[in-house]
Amino acid sequence: MPGSDVDIKKYISSGILEQYVLGLLSSEERQAIENNLRQYPELRAELDQIEHALESYVSLNKAKLSPDFYQKLSDKLDDITPDPAPPATNPSSGPAPVTGTGSGNLLSLLLGVALVVSLGAAAWLYNGSQQKDEEIKTLTTNFNLLQTDCDKTTEMNRSLLETLQSMRQPGSSLIQMLGTAKAPAALASVIWNPTTQKAYLDVASLPEPPSDKQYQLWAIVDGVPVDMGVFEVVLNGTSLQEVPFIANPQAFAVTLEQRGGSPTPTLEEMVVVGNKVG
């Protein structure tokens, strides 16, 4: 629990408030956070800023570019030259057959009944065992599926936490790239920070590319596309990865190129594009 201004700053910089917002803490840790929030107004104010940043991130991922932006960008880019079964039992080893009449026949009958009862009991036990095995297999499968879902959810939350912490660095800008006519539902963003000279690509939704092709990120600087490298798409989840920092970009775009990348973008294969505001 923080006990001074210095402790509060250290508490905030630890990232535990972001984990609280994203539900990554245990119930005991959440209770400790809530106690601190009631006691320290500075923590409550910081939590409000984190929630606002997260809301802004979600809101920006729903925004739209101006209708004439694609045409303006296309006009600028047009000026550039593109480039065994078990072994059988030996009958002779079995018991000698019972012969005779009277008590011998009765003994044979009793042995036969006992054999039938034994076989029936064995079959019942076998079927019961088989059913239990199937139930255990089903429960195990369901548990594994649930564990996988939990792992995926945890990983997505941690990826979102990483994105949120990158956004909240002083000087960071979030540039959203919306889908073009080639992929209207596609969505990605670039987190760009001239103070730290760091840039991150956040892929929200891109179609899975063919095996012989790869996505390539571009920065548009004074109307000229600058290569920022190729990247892989992580399916079923968000993916935040660091990319080269490019100074003074006006826009960012992603194209689908031959595996390994291209020296110039293929305009008809542009899947997302977004301009930098300010």
Residue range 44-62, pLDDT digits in tens:
988 888 887 777 666 655 5
Work out the percent of the chain whose per-residue pLDDT is above 90: 31
- Do 190 and 76 share a structural domain? yes
Model pLDDT, residue 82:
44
Model pLDDT, residue 99:
37
Model pLDDT, residue 17:
86
* pLDDT above 70 for 68: no
Q: What is the enclosing helix (H) or strand (E) of 43?
A: helix 41-60
Measure the CA–CA gap between 218 and 225, rounded to whole angstroms: 6
More confident residue, 205 or 84: 205
**Confidence class for position 118, pLDDT limits 50, 70, 90:** low
- Structural domain of 46: 5-60
- Do 202 and 240 share a structural domain? yes
Arithmetic mean of pLDDT, 146-157: 65
- Do 236 and 170 share a structural domain? yes
110, part of any domain: no
Residue 234's nearest CA partner among 152, 145, 174, 175 is: 152
188, part of any domain: yes
Question: What single string gives the DSSP state of each residue in 188-206?
Answer: EEEEEETTTTEEEEEEEE-
- Do 216 and 236 share a structural domain? yes
149, part of any domain: no
Instruction: Count CB-CB contacts under 10 A for residue 92.
Output: 6
- Do 52 and 14 share a structural domain? yes
- Do 26 and 76 share a structural domain? no
Arithmetic mean of pLDDT, 209-221: 95
Model pLDDT, residue 224:
94
- Do 170 and 49 share a structural domain? no
Model pLDDT, residue 121:
61
- Do 19 and 76 share a structural domain? no
155, part of any domain: no
Q: Is the pTM of this model over 0.75?
A: no
More confident residue, 111 or 187: 187
Distances (CA, A) of 265 to 35, 51, 75, 176, 188: 53, 37, 14, 19, 17
Model pLDDT, residue 213:
96
Measure the CA–CA gap between 150 and 114, rounded to whole angstroms: 53
220, part of any domain: yes
* pLDDT above 60 for 116: no
- Do 76 and 53 share a structural domain? no
AA identity, residue 49? Q
Candidate ranges 157-166, 200-209, 244-253; pick with highest mean pLDDT? 244-253
- Do 227 and 192 share a structural domain? yes
**Which tens digits make up the pLDDT trace of 220-239?**
999 999 999 999 987 655 56
Structural domains counted in the chain: 2
15, part of any domain: yes
Q: What is the enclosing helix (H) or strand (E) of 241?
A: strand 239-243
- Do 76 and 36 share a structural domain? no
* pLDDT above 70 for 128: no
- Do 21 and 76 share a structural domain? no
43, part of any domain: yes
152, part of any domain: no
**Which tens digits make up the pLDDT trace of 159-201?**
667 666 766 778 889 899 999 999 999 999 999 999 989 999 9
Q: Are the CB atoms for 206 and 231 separated by under 8 Å? A: no
Strand partners, 257: 214
Arithmetic mean of pLDDT, 106-122: 53
| Chain mean position to CA 160 | 10
* pLDDT above 60 for 42: yes
